[in-house]
Structure 1
Amino acid sequence: MSAVGESQTVVESQASEDYPLTAVPAEARRSLLSMAFMLLGFTLYSGTFFAGGLVGPAFRFFPDLVVLLVVGNLILGGYAAALGYIASKTGLSTVLMARSSFGSVGSRWVDFILGFTQIGWYAWGSGLIADLLNKLAGVPTSWNWAIVLFFTYFFCITAYIGYRAMDWYSRIAVPAIIVLMLWSLSIAASQAGGFAGAQAIQPTAQLDIGAALTIIVGTFISGGTQATNWSRFANSPRTATLATLAAFFIANGFVVFGGAFSALVYQDFDMVSVMAKQGLLIPGFILLFLNMWSTQDNTIYAFSIAFCHMFRTKKRTFFVLIGATIALALTWGGIYESKQFIGFLILLGTFIPPIGGVIMADYWLYRRGQFPALEEPQPAFNWAGVIAYVVASAIAYYSSGIKPINGIIAAAVLYFILAKLIPSNRRSEVIK
């Protein structure tokens, strides 16, 4: 085979797997409409509804709760949009960016922590569906193994096919999800007595502002860190920034608000359960199905990208199936029933933001907007990134206030200082 033929085969192979180990080329870039639907589908997630439910009962509706939701989602949206901008400029996913920031071997930690959180949420989602069918539809628990088996593999169909299938599914699902949620929220507002009624509801729980913002930001910070898996396909940085901000500030904020408001009105933040109380059980299950599919396929897709990079293979579809199988084992093993698991995943919101802080500092402050080519050999460990990450994570964990923000700022400042102090030729042995 000629060199030209071999090169063409490699390009076609990467394209069929959605470019897991290369930058997305210009001919594969997508429009704002495509980006918006894809990312909106990702963020309209019932797990975020639960996060809103944890926050809502602890605050008066206005201005306390409303301002808190705006600030929290603006933080999340700004963080994800900044990474989205870099992804569009470079065509790279977060795990490929991390190769420069953490080193060729050091970046595998990024692969692991981002991939693990996504597979954890995927497993939790399968368990949620089975649990709701038990409670609200009367399905016997003895059927749960089959329900989990079916939905675990069904929801990964579009992720297996890739961006094209996920794009078209999102265009159908997102408008339907928004309409159904607005329908439910309008009923809730009416039953609460409008604004005056919502304002009269007194807080029934205690939660400080820093903890509340950590929950709002932390629940989806892993997804925000990996939104680059789709924003790298944007046809311009402006497209990536607008689409990501719309998804993580507006859409994610909409879902958090839905959970918080439902918790205030019904003392219940389960989306389907709330709709059942409103006489909308069937629409509630339709919403759950559409909502879970639109996020679950993005979640398993993110896992596949992370683990392709970990093992340096372009076989993304293989890791979609591997990830689904791991999630199946976790769900059958009882991960959904674990009361500590959601708290653990939210806790990772403390340890994931410093990854983004290091990457942004590396790109903008140290390298002045230009990552090295992927073909260029990198240190096994970029100790500036590794040390900055570890110290920033400790600062975020032990500090008060808004832990994700503390972690991002600390990581960015530390990386910039350490990158100046540690010469690049002494950071570690250079390997590919």
Structure 2
Amino acid sequence: MNFRRNLKDSAGVQPLPLSQRRGLVFPAFAWLGFTSAFASVVIGSLLQSKLGTLDALAAAILGNWILFVYSAAIGFAAGRWGLSSQLTLAAVFGRWGALVPGIILGSLVTGWFAFHVVLTARILLQALHFAGDPAIVMCVIGVVFAAPVIARLSQGFNMTAIAFPAMILFGGTVIAHYLMPTWTVLLDGPIGGTLPFGTGVCIAFGIFVVSGTMTGDIVRYCRTGNEAVLATAFAFLLSNLPFLILGVLIAAAGIRVADLFTGNDALSFVLLALVVISNWTTCDACISNASVTLKSAFPRLSWIIASAAAALLGLLLAVANAVGDVFGWALFLSAIVPPIGGVIVADYYVLRVRIGFSRFTAAPVNVAGLVAMAAGIAVAFLAREAAPGAITPLIGAPLAGGLYLVLARLAPSRPGADPAATDGAEALD
């Protein structure tokens, strides 16, 4: 395989052949680094303040288990067939139909890039007592964080491997220095709060639902579907969940997360450095996710243009403070994204049965899939408005999947849900 083909494979333009896959270790560490995000600590702390300690812990656990099952179902299919997230969408929604969910996911993942840029800027401005223009600081941080992806120095998700040991050191230091002296009273806080429990579950779920739906960009390097499921378990049950719990316990100890960096001592600066590393690698992964999606959706687009466009969108969202309300952002994601996954899961496990992704959807646009996705999104948002405590992923995803199966069974050829005519290589031509 020549160098040009290698670049295509790494960009998710073609299914990754078995000879190019790395097994479990690389995807597992890539996911571990991606999900060991400082943002999870921040959100866990906020959940404790709104739910109370015990409900926040329960919401974090339940939300992550739902996220694991959801992402593992998609990951098994993508990992078994070596498909990037956009190729998975193309297999289900059709070559051109996949642009709709692909653009949605690619745009949303840049929102998390924006969130981490803003979070890093705020921490640095506060910890270093810097009086500069926050917008300029955000732009500088965003450019620095995105540069390795644009220049292809980070090689996709390789950089995320740095984050996991950094955050383990961060967590261990915080536990030893701040939590151990107060461990006897950590569960003595308020039992309830002002936030409905189901809303807390949606927030815990929404943190990584976008990247969980795009898990193919990471798990396509697995050799089997089972390895992809294991990599996903590492991501959400052994990485994201513990850091959410850490955030809950920090708040339960009466400590503001921001105060960890304002001591003007060596410990504060060490923790600050570890958090910057974590945020940088998470931003790297977010831009990689978005870039692979854009490159796969538009194969003739150069990597530099695709990644620079994703970074620019993220910077605009950061400067505009479009994702400043992290709870509102996570709830938005937990309503709009799961129906996409619901259609993927229904298509792969019910319609395809044994053929898997050996063949892509025959029609360029799977109308049935797009209609079902739109219906699932609409109902999820309606449910969120009618019942604020509803767990919307358990509404939108099943509804979209069920409706898709009905539409596909009624007229498989007319709506474009028949996967019997086009294979993966032909679908990209």
For normalisation by structure 1, the TM-score amounts to 0.87
Which consecutive unaligned segments of at least 5 residues does structure 1 have? 1-6
Aligned: 1:273 with 2:259: yes
1:315 and 1:389 mapped to 2: Cα distance? 30
Aligned-partner SS, 2:253: helix
Q: Deviations over 1:303-341 (max 9, x none)?
A: 112222333436334311222223233333x326x6447
Using the TM superposition, give the Cα deviation of residue 121 of structure 1 relative to its aligned residue in structure 2, in angstroms: 1.6
With over 3 angstroms needed to count, the CA separation of the structure-2 counterparts of 1:170 and 1:301, relative to structure 1, is: closer
Aligned: 1:97 with 2:88: yes
Find 1:141's aligned residue among 132, 137, 143.
Answer: 132
Using the TM superposition, give the Cα deviation of residue 300 of structure 1 relative to its aligned residue in structure 2, in angstroms: 0.1
Find 1:421's aligned residue among 405, 410, 413.
Answer: 410
Does the CA contact (< 8 Å) of 1:115 and 1:302 recur in 2?
yes
With over 3 angstroms needed to count, the CA separation of the structure-2 counterparts of 1:201 and 1:227, relative to structure 1, is: same
Identity of aligned residues (%): 25
Does the CA contact (< 8 Å) of 1:350 and 1:407 recur in 2?
yes
Using the TM superposition, give the Cα deviation of residue 202 of structure 1 relative to its aligned residue in structure 2, in angstroms: 1.7
Q: How does 1:25-104 map to 2 (within 5 A)?
A: 25-62=17-54, 64-104=55-95
Aligned: 1:406 with 2:395: yes
Aligned-partner SS, 1:176: helix
Q: How does 1:236-385 map to 2 (within 5 A)?
A: 236-266=224-254, 268=256, 270=257, 272-276=258-262, 280-313=267-300, 315-332=302-319, 334-335=320-321, 339-340=324-325, 343-371=328-356, 378-385=362-369
1:285 and 1:169 mapped to 2: Cα distance? 19
Using the TM superposition, give the Cα deviation of residue 36 of structure 1 relative to its aligned residue in structure 2, in angstroms: 1.5
With over 3 angstroms needed to count, the CA separation of the structure-2 counterparts of 1:59 and 1:120, relative to structure 1, is: closer
With over 3 angstroms needed to count, the CA separation of the structure-2 counterparts of 1:373 and 1:161, relative to structure 1, is: farther
With over 3 angstroms needed to count, the CA separation of the structure-2 counterparts of 1:278 and 1:362, relative to structure 1, is: farther
Does the CA contact (< 8 Å) of 2:50 and 2:195 recur in 1?
yes
Q: Deviations over 1:242-301 (max 9, x none)?
A: 111111122110121122222222353x3x533546963112211211111221111001
With over 3 angstroms needed to count, the CA separation of the structure-2 counterparts of 1:167 and 1:100, relative to structure 1, is: closer
Does the CA contact (< 8 Å) of 2:368 and 2:417 recur in 1?
no
Q: Deviations over 1:92-121 (max 9, x none)?
A: 122211123223322111111111111122
1:98 and 1:45 mapped to 2: Cα distance? 27
1:281 and 1:88 mapped to 2: Cα distance? 40
Aligned AA (2:303) = R
Give the stretch that moved more between structures: 343-352 or 361-370.
343-352
Q: Which residue of 2 aligns with 1:208?
A: 196
Q: Which residue of 1 aligns with 2:109?
A: 118
Aligned AA (1:178) = I
Does the CA contact (< 8 Å) of 1:110 and 1:355 recur in 2?
yes
Does the CA contact (< 8 Å) of 2:114 and 2:317 recur in 1?
yes
Find 1:11's aligned residue among 5, 13, 18.
Answer: 5
With over 3 angstroms needed to count, the CA separation of the structure-2 counterparts of 1:28 and 1:200, relative to structure 1, is: same
Q: Which residue of 1 aligns with 2:164?
A: 174
Aligned AA (1:33) = V
Aligned: 1:389 with 2:373: yes
Q: Which residue of 2 aligns with 1:3?
A: none
Aligned-partner SS, 1:105: coil
With over 3 angstroms needed to count, the CA separation of the structure-2 counterparts of 1:19 and 1:355, relative to structure 1, is: same
Q: How many residues align?
A: 415
Using the TM superposition, give the Cα deviation of residue 360 of structure 1 relative to its aligned residue in structure 2, in angstroms: 1.0
Q: Which residue of 1 aligns with 2:98?
A: 107
Using the TM superposition, give the Cα deviation of residue 354 of structure 1 relative to its aligned residue in structure 2, in angstroms: 0.9
Q: Which residue of 2 aligns with 1:129?
A: 120
CA RMSD of aligned residues (A): 2.8
Does the CA contact (< 8 Å) of 1:214 and 1:403 recur in 2?
yes
